[in-house]
Chain A
Amino acid sequence: MIFSKYLFFILSFIAIYAALKVLISKKPMHSVLYLTLTFFAIGGHYILLNAQFLAVVHIIVYAGAIMVLFIYTVMLLNLNIQGEFPKSRLAKFASAIAGGILLFTLIAVFRSYDLKVLADPSLNQIGLVKNLGKILFQDYYLPFELSSILFLAAMVGAVMLGKKDIY
């Protein structure tokens, strides 16, 4: 159990470091690769939470599909050009807002009374494909069906944007 705690810290450190590198890197290609590293670290977190279905889907969707799309775009459009850094005032202002949000949330965490821990995540079975599938197709059937409309809209949209007509 101590081992999983160490694992948590290692994964979190990798994720945060890679996320920061996404912002610091000057070339978009490096950002994409660091983003992939973050996604893998988060996938590790899912395994740590015993959410096996999510871990697999996360790796397939994010590290597989989304990253390939990103890399494909960067390479297709030859966007791997050094981007410039912003004006310092804007950056300071933005960082202040974001830091404020972080601080606010953290304070909120510590001031709230203890969150209920009802189960040991390493022992429960809810994250397995069998259990999630049952619930997805019983209670959450309607959003599942509606997401097909969402995908149809995205597909029609992507095809439309890809065609060469004026409208």
Chain B
Amino acid sequence: MPNLQIIPLDYYIIFCSALFAIGVVGVLVKRNALVIFMSIELMLNSANLLLAAFSAYRNDPAGQIFVFFIMVVAAAEVAIGLALLVMIYRSTHTIDINVLNKLKW
């Protein structure tokens, strides 16, 4: 019986929840826009891994297809986000990141 030896699915859920929570803490705690953005990437990645794990344990490919689409969107989002960062840099004409540090909720 292989089922006794495989990694329990719960492990994946706990690991992904932890990663997701780290991402959330990062978004709320950090004040540098770049690091906030990285924390959002962590959140997306935890969702990705969770979907892939569910998909693999259920033998259903739909979850992995969704992960593929999330990667597509993440790539587009990164392009836009960094273009925005460059734009802010250009309009303030400074390498000082104080402008970004003002971004608090």
State if A and B touch, Cβ cutoff 8 Å.
yes
Interface residues of A (CB under 8 A from B): 1-2, 4-5, 8, 12, 15-16, 19-20, 22-23, 28, 31-32, 35, 38-39, 42, 45-46, 48-51, 53-54, 57-58, 61-62, 65-66, 69-70, 72-74, 76-79, 81, 83-84, 86, 90-91, 93-95, 97-99, 101-102, 105-106, 109, 115-124, 126-127, 131-132, 135-136, 139-140, 143, 147, 150-151, 153-155, 157-158, 161-162
> Which of B11, B20, B59, B77 is in CB contact (< 8 Å) with A8?
B11
Q: Given A77-B85, A151-B76, are A83 and B61 neighbors across the interface (CB < 8 Å)? A: no
Task: Give the shortest distance, in Å, between A30 (CB) and chain B (any CB).
Answer: 10
Task: Give the shortest distance, in Å, between B51 (CB) and chain A (any CB).
Answer: 9
Q: Assess whether A121 is in contact with B76, with CB atoms less than 8 Å apart.
A: no
**Given A45-B49, A54-B67, A94-B28, 17 more pairs with CB closer than 8 A:** A19-B19, A19-B23, A23-B29, A38-B45, A49-B52, A51-B56, A66-B41, A69-B82, A70-B38, A77-B85, A77-B86, A79-B95, A106-B14, A122-B2, A135-B61, A143-B69, A161-B87
Q: Given A86-B31, A117-B57, A124-B56, are A61 and B75 neighbors across the interface (CB < 8 Å)? A: yes
Write 17 A-B pairs (CB below 8 A) sorted by A numbering.
A12-B15, A61-B74, A72-B82, A73-B86, A77-B86, A79-B97, A90-B28, A98-B25, A115-B9, A115-B57, A122-B2, A124-B56, A127-B56, A157-B83, A158-B83, A161-B84, A161-B86
